Chain A
């Protein structure tokens, strides 16, 4: 299909596996930051970690007056924070980022720097009434159970993530935090193999899941001419509900990268939406438009910085986002990387010269 972007190979899948298994709950992104640094630090012209913990890496271009393009992927994931030691091995905890508390009961988690094993417990079926089982178990009745020994090694404020281990199953990728390790892995590949025409300003951002906080300062610092957020977005793609057509699928697995026109925080620059679609059409890279609606990406913070920055977002679709396991397709990841690479390679100031 194209020469510059090779199919995703086992080395890249192994990197995604490491990224997925690492734990980087918002505000404590060290593990993922360390993996990224190891992968790209020697390959970029400038590398720094800013005050909030964002990685800002620059790949210069030999072209004259290259467009300065920021590509952002958030490193953080949803998870938990210990709130109170209740002695005997239990901790009361809070969620970090958007988590449906119905997803939590019985899930194994890894706690603190040492990844100590814990489980989110609740009373079992034997000891609950039929009436109780009709209701969601409120957060204040859930505990992370670490056992008495390990509970001494952690403290309130420590974070915990789902304990899910990454798996490749046929065409599918299953793991926790694929939102947004798929984006991180994609951006690492772009940094290693950048299009020659643009100055690539790579931002691996922090605290996206708690309100696009890292991207805001990253965009201010990088001050790009154009920006693209690379993320992961839910696919809710059952064919129908109750015999009726599913009109609220958001995206579909296997249909290619999801281009954003509008979400809760951003109206994508229509010129960039057109540019991505035209690139996909010209090179026969499949893509889909994400259904406009809720949700958001780092683009929501980026476009408002300084005198304004034209933005668009592209996401790898995945089922069951913000739960203990997400399911994505290798081909969608491959096509996301290809669409981004070629869209950047074909991006010129002429795209932004037309009236918005």
Chain B
């Protein structure tokens, strides 16, 4: 599974430009799916199985897109000014390497720092692609770039630029492969444009019209020095979301997820995230409303070029998802 994660995280896919990730997933799921289609916003919708007695139409969502940058101006000396796609803080960027959708590579530089105590805002940073003038700069306004950073395997822990949310993409693919039999009609949906405001999941959920929705995404941790005050740590198992700032998970879904984990002796944590949301929000308020929840993978340094997860948490996430989907869902 580490090889699959590596392939996924090293593929280019900022929001709105997910086609390379989509192509890769299509190859990976081809032998396990009953139907594969792409909708108007680029969501990849993979169906497995047909609803039988006691089964439900279930949508599982992991977003393909990652945070990135977009060029706003090429100056007279060939430096590229940019803005962000998704939430990125400036202090994670300086010295970073980026690659544009066109293949052009560059590094992020900044204007001179007058006061080292005060970090530059994004308007003081630029991308240097090695050009010497506007004329020989190969970037044009609107070109999109992603962070360029190889996958790092630390054994127990894995680090990559787009662990958010390719690790969940890998979890969905692996669950699809491992799930031999299910009473449910399952839609494994690889969504677009989550990082810019949960957009792809809105239209995918409308199209699928599910009876139950589960997002798989990363969540923050509170286990680093002077970090977030949050009761989620790496290595303590997948986090079952109770609430974030965009969604209150259906208590019955939370209960079902916890009970399944306990029965299968899979460690888990409960998550209350004070800022941010996931594709589960879009599913929950789609059409006439859908019971929804979210399985979260604890992740350090989210939205930086080095996002870290625990490999056991990842494997337990697959195990929990497979256990949840094997049997009829009671009571929801």
**B-contacting residues of A (Cβ < 8 Å)?**
245, 247-249, 261-262, 265, 267-268, 270, 273, 289, 291-293, 303-310, 355-356
Contact = CB atoms under 8 A, between A and B. Distances in A.
B327 interface: no
Contact of A292 (B39, B41, B70, B200): B70
Contacts, number: 79
10 contacts: A247-B75, A262-B142, A268-B16, A289-B140, A293-B83, A304-B203, A307-B39, A307-B204, A308-B203, A308-B206
A247 B16 contact: no
A265 B85 CA distance: 11
Contact of B72 (A270, A293, A306, A307): A293
Interface string B190-219: 000100110110111011000000000000
B46 to A, nearest CB: 16
Contacts of A355: 19, 22-23, 38
Interface string B21-32: 011000000000
Contacts of B70: 261-262, 292
A307 B40 CA distance: 7
B40 A309 contact: yes
Interface of B: 15-17, 19, 22-23, 38-43, 70-73, 75-76, 81, 83, 85, 123, 140-142, 193, 196-197, 199-200, 202-204, 206-207
A309 B40 CA distance: 6
Contacts of B193: 267
Nearest to B70: A292
Contacts of B123: 248
B14 to A, nearest CB: 9
A304 B202 contact: yes
B100 to A, nearest CB: 13
Q: Which 6 A-B pairs have the closest CB atoms?
A: A308-B203, A267-B16, A261-B142, A308-B41, A308-B40, A307-B207
Given A245-B76, A248-B123, A292-B72, A356 B207 contact: no
B216 to A, nearest CB: 21
Contacts of B83: 292-293
A247 B41 contact: no
B17 A289 contact: no
A270 B73 CA distance: 19
A356 to B, nearest CB: 4
Contacts of A273: 142
Contacts of B85: 262, 267
Nearest to B203: A308
A299 to B, nearest CB: 12
B75 A270 contact: no
Nearest to A306: B206
Contacts of B22: 355
B41 A261 contact: no
Nearest to A310: B40
Contacts of B140: 289
B72 A291 contact: yes
A306 B40 CA distance: 10
Nearest to A356: B42
Nearest to A292: B70
Given A273-B142, A307-B39, A310-B40, A247 B72 contact: yes
Contacts of B206: 306-308
Contacts of B43: 308
A285 B93 CA distance: 38
Contacts of A248: 72-73, 123
Contacts of B203: 303-308
A325 to B, nearest CB: 27
A248 B22 CA distance: 34
B142 A356 contact: no
Nearest to B81: A247
A292 B199 CA distance: 18
A268 B73 CA distance: 18
A238 B117 CA distance: 33
Contacts of B196: 267
Contacts of A291: 72-73, 141
Contacts of B16: 262, 267-268, 270
Given A262-B85, A267-B15, A355-B19, A308 B73 contact: no
Nearest to A226: B40
A305 B41 CA distance: 11
Contacts of B204: 307-308
Nearest to B85: A262
A356 B207 CA distance: 18
A216 to B, nearest CB: 12
